[in-house]
């Protein structure tokens, strides 16, 4: 990885719920930030800069909300930035913040990502008709379902694969008290019998709409060495984007994702991700994206992702647990979901994942987020040991 | 810190662009900035942009914007929902890590398609302020009144800024408001629309885009005869509530300028992101400009204000003068939020 060593030394997360009516937007982000600062053994005055990220402003109706949130996040008198890279934003915000430390600009950076979806309706917020543009067909599900069908056609995956992921991630979430969905009775039959939204996606194949926030404190090597709790060292971080309207794109297995993973693994010295990661927290908002991203991230050959899922390899007790926290399928504060992935990966290698802690062998974990029309990717590798 | 320079700059601005959508506005400025930089597009290490969804009236303005860049094969790319001056800051940080040696930065927006002054109300506290719907001009007028009272100034001082901007605008091909024959009397003869502000004190509605290419060290020297080196770039934010800030000064500008090293650099030229006449006066105070410095020779935002690029253009205007040999060093300023809530200072210098 380029630049100075950087570590995650504090992680804070709100409980994710359908509607956090008990807090304002400022209260929501502050709840996560306070927990992260406490984890890092810091107070507001220790922080050099604040980087905030979230998905489209129309999800809450506040334009450039870093301005309104400057006070709540203790940023007054300090540098503050706002990142927005669509669904990948939680990941890219973490990376922008980490680069401030890697570049030697700052020693201690607080980064926060949030969404308070109950303030509006994301599906319709995504579906504003724009002049001269193809409509987004009623939200993200309408966009991604045809890509999923293309994946099924290419790979020959049987129809129940998505439902297996839907059950696996919801059962994992039962061990995560902060997860939005706790569905103790879920099984293959309930998913199959839930109503059809966008073929082949049924209601329970789809992520919830959540209010929630995630916060990380990032520190330089000197700061991390003195941190009260174990750091998660960043071994690599990468972002890639590709254009929307380009006939050469493969939206099912996007080049940007493959390039991003290749760059990331080169930085982190990863040659076999399935063997070298203890866990992966990957942006799976629709169940079928687990097998699709297994392939895109190089955990298996193209066309084989669904076989890993079917064999249980990605379950919490499998050889490569994916989304042991319950993942996006169990909590989806959109703008925060990427940072939740990055932060949950950090918690695993810090040994602080509570009841959903995986067994640490290599001490390395992957965080991934994607956004737009499968065109924006951000990823990082965190490790228990220094890179 | 690595030496990083602005090696090319291009921008567009018109009062109302009815012929082009955002992507079509981005293509020519990106193409020009990349061509002038001499760095092949595929070699540019990083791409970062600034835009605002609410200007377009739909989510993800930047997503389509990326189509104007030709991001194939896929690029290292990021976006800030801020003026593109902050995208330049993010790109400068990326170069500082050593991961990349060059970056393309761009900003874009069309203010003409909606009511900019009312849209910007959505920047305010959504629970206690936005429901009252003060426009950005209403809030600016409060600040102007407070400043004039504190400084012992009157509307003549505002008109002086407006007149100089209109006259300087005549030398700027992109100015949407310029008048070589503007006088203080002619400005003061206009009606006051938001006491104490007149139209001439308020930046004109402008559509446009801007692009800058940054390069590090020897790469910059190899592609540009006289790169404009970034000697310091810093930004700070203030409290959001207008009632808890001293509106008569810009404390965050003072902090950013000091951190950027303003005291070490006598300035030939300054470009300020002042969308209202009084903002220029407040910023000049914050930067302790002595009256010798050339302020907004381009005409500044009062001549052309393509929102989300206006701050980036300030950096480009200073860099352009350095590269052309017209200045040795200068300061560019960018701002965000109601009443100058957040401010960025970038000091540029010839070799």
* pLDDT > 70 fraction of chain B, expressed in percent and rounded: 100
Task: Give the tokens for residue A321.
Answer: 């647990």
Give the span between the Cα atoms of B55 and B305, in whole angstroms. 13
Per the CB < 8 A criterion, the answer to whether A192 and A200 are in contact is no
Question: What single-letter DSSP state applies at residue B113?
Answer: T
**Number of other CB atoms surrounding residue A158 within 10 Å:** 11
Q: Token pair 């709100």 is at which residue?
A: A14
Picking from B1, B48, B81 by the largest number of A CB atoms within 10 A of its own CB, the best residue to mutate is: B81
Least confident of A115-129, A205-219, B98-112: A115-129
ipTM computed for the complex: 0.98
Picking from A65, A69, A76, A251 by the largest number of B CB atoms within 10 A of its own CB, the best residue to mutate is: A76
Q: At what angle do helices A89-102 and B84-96 cross, to 10 degrees?
A: 50
Burial call B246-273: b when 16+ CB within 10 Å, e when fewer = ebbbbbbbbbbbbebebeebebbbbbbb
Give the span between the Cα atoms of B314 and A9, in whole angstroms. 38
Write down the pLDDT at residue B284. 97
Task: Give the tokens for residue B90.
Answer: 């993010």
Give the span between the Cα atoms of B155 and B148, in whole angstroms. 8
The residue among A75, B66, A319 whose CA lies nearest residue A67 is A75
Would the pLDDT of A368 be above 90? Answer: yes
Nearest by CB: B63 against A78, A82, A244: A244
Nearest by CB: A58 against B53, B236, B239: B53
Shortest Cα distance, chain B CAs vs residue A184, angstroms: 36
Write down the pLDDT at residue A136. 60
pLDDT in tens, B16-41: 999 999 999 999 999 999 999 999 99
- Residue A302, class by beta-carbon neighbours within 10 Å (0-12 exposed, 13-18 middle, 19+ buried)? middle
pLDDT in tens, A55-79: 999 999 999 999 999 999 999 999 9
Q: Categorize the per-residue pLDDT at A125 as very low, low, confident or very high, splitting at 50, 70 and 90.
A: confident
Helix ranges (H only) for chain B are 22-37, 53-56, 61-65, 84-96, 116-119, 136-151, 155-169, 184-188, 217-223, 251-260, 277-286, 310-323
Would the pLDDT of A34 be above 70? Answer: yes
Nearest by CB: B72 against A69, A103, A248: A248
Would the pLDDT of A142 be above 90? Answer: no
Beta pairing class for A49-53 and A108-116: parallel
pLDDT in tens, B133-151: 999 999 999 999 999 999 9
Write down the pLDDT at residue A123. 78
Shortest Cα distance, chain A CAs vs residue B259, angstroms: 11
Mean pLDDT of chain B: 97
The residue among A149, A355, A138, A364 whose CA lies nearest residue A252 is A149
At A367, which helix (H) or strand (E)?
strand A364-371
Average pLDDT over residues A21-39: 98
pLDDT in tens, A185-204: 999 999 999 999 999 999 99
Write down the pLDDT at residue A161. 98
Rg (CA), chain A: 19
Would the pLDDT of A134 be above 80? Answer: no
Q: Is B291 left (phi over 0), alpha (psi -120 to 50) or beta?
A: left
Q: Does B235 touch chain A (CB under 8 A)?
A: yes
DSSP percent split of chain A into helix, strand, coil, nearest 5: 40, 20, 40
């Amino acid at each position: 990885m380029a630049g100075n060593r950087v570590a995650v030394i504090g992680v804070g997360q709100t409980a994710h719920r359908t509607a956090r009516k008990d807090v304002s937007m400022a209260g929501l982000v502050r709840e996560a930030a306070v927990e992260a600062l406490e984890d890092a053994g810091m107070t507001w005055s220790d922080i050099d800069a604040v980087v905030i990220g979230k998905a489209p402003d129309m999800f809450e109706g506040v334009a450039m909300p870093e301005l309104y949130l400057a006070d709540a996040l203790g940023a007054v008198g300090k540098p503050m930035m706002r990142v927005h890279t669509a669904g990948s934003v939680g990941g890219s915000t973490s990376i922008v913040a980490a680069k401030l430390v890697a570049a030697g600009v700052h020693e201690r950076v607080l980064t926060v990502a949030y969404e308070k979806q109950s303030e509006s309706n994301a599906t319709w917020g995504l579906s504003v008709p724009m002049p001269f543009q193809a409509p987004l067909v009623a939200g993200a599900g309408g966009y991604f379902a045809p890509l999923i069908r293309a994946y099924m056609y290419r790979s020959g995956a049987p129809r129940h694969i998505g439902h297996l992921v839907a059950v696996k991630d919801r059962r994992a979430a039962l061990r995560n008290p902060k997860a939005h969905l706790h569905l103790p009775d879920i099984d293959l039959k309930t998913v199959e019998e839930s109503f059809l939204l966008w073929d082949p996606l049924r209601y329970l194949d789809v992520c919830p709409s959540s209010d929630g926030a995630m916060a990380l404190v990032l520190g330089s090597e000197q700061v991390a060495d003195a941190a009260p709790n174990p750091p998660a060292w960043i071994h690599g971080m990468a972002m890639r984007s590709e254009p929307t309207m380009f006939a050469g794109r493969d939206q099912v297995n996007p080049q940007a994702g493959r390039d991003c993973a290749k760059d990331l693994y080169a930085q982190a010295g990863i040659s076999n991700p399935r063997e070298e990661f203890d866990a992966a927290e990957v942006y799976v908002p629709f169940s079928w994206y687990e097998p699709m991203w297994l392939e895109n991230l190089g955990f298996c050959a193209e066309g084989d992702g669904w076989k890993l899922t079917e064999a249980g390899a990605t379950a919490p007790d499998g050889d490569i647990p994916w989304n042991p926290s319950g993942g996006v399928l169990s909590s989806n504060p959109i703008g925060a979901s990427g940072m939740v992935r990055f932060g949950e990966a950090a918690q695993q290698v810090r040994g602080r994942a509570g009841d959903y802690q995986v067994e640490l062998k290599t001490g390395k974990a992957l965080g991934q987020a994607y956004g737009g029309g499968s065109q924006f990717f951000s990823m990082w590798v965190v490790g228990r040991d220094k890179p | 810190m690595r030496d990083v320079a602005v090696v090319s700059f291009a921008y567009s601005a018109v009062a109302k662009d009815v012929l082009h959508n955002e992507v079509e506005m981005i293509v020519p400025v990106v193409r020009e900035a990349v061509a002038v930089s001499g760095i092949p597009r595929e070699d540019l290490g990083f791409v970062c942009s600034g835009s605002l969804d609410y200007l377009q009236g739909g989510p993800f303005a930047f997503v389509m914007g990326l189509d104007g860049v030709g991001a194939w094969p896929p690029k290292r790319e990021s976006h800030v929902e801020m003026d593109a001056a902050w995208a330049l800051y993010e790109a400068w940080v990326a170069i500082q890590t050593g991961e990349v040696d060059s970056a393309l930065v761009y900003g874009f927006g069309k203010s003409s398609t909606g009511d900019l002054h009312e849209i910007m109300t959505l920047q305010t506290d959504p629970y206690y302020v936005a429901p009252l719907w003060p426009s950005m001009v209403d809030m600016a007028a409060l600040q102007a009144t407070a400043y004039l009272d504190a400084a012992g100034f009157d509307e003549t001082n505002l008109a002086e800024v407006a007149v100089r901007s209109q006259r300087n605008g005549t030398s700027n091909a992109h100015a949407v408001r310029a008048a070589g024959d503007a006088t203080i009397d002619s400005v003061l003869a206009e009606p006051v629309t938001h006491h104490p502000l007149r139209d001439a004190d308020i930046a004109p509605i402008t559509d446009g885009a801007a692009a800058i290419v940054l390069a590090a060290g020897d790469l910059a020297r190899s592609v540009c005869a006289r790169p404009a080196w970034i000697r310091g770039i810093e930004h700070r934010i203030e409290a959001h509530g207008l009632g808890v800030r001293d509106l008569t000064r810009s404390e965050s500008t003072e902090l950013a300028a000091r951190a950027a090293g303003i005291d070490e650099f006598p300035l030939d030229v300054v470009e300020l992101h002042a969308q209202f006449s009084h903002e220029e006066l407040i910023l000049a105070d914050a930067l302790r400009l002595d009256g010798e410095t050339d302020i907004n020779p381009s005409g500044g935002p009062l001549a052309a204000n393509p929102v989300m690029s206006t701050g980036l253009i300030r950096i480009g205007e200073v860099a352009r003068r350095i590269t052309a040999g017209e200045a040795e060093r200068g300061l560019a300023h960018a701002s965000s939020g109601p009443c100058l809530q957040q401010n960025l200072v970038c000091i540029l210098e010839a070799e």
